[in-house]
Amino acid sequence: MSDCLFCKIAAGEIPSTKVYEDEEILAFRDIAPKAPVHILLIPKKHLASLAEAGPEDAALLGKMQLLARQLAEQEGVAESGFRVVANSGPNSGQEVAHLHYHLLGGEPLGDIRG
Ligand code: 5GP
Ligand code: ZN
Q: Is residue 112 part of a domain?
A: no
Q: How many domains does the chain have?
A: 1
Q: Is residue 34 part of a domain?
A: yes
Atom 19 (ligand 1) nearest CA: 31
Q: In terms of pTM, does the model score above 0.95?
A: yes
pLDDT tens sequence across 72-103: 999 999 999 999 999 999 999 999 999 999 99
pLDDT tens sequence across 19-36: 999 999 999 999 999 999
77 Cβ neighbours under 8 A, 6+ residues apart: 37, 105, 106
Domain coverage including residue 77:
5-105
For residue 5, how far is its CA from the centre of ligand 2 (angstroms)?
A: 6
By CB atoms closer than 10 A (0-12, 13-18, 19+), residue 83 is: middle
Return the C-alpha torsion angle 73, 75, 77, 82, nearest 10: -90
For residue 97, how far is its CA from the centre of ligand 1 (angstroms)?
A: 10
Q: What is the CATH number of the domain that holds 68?
A: 3.30.428.10
Q: Is residue 111 part of a domain?
A: no
Spatial separation of the C-alpha atoms in residues 67 and 96, rounded to whole Å: 21
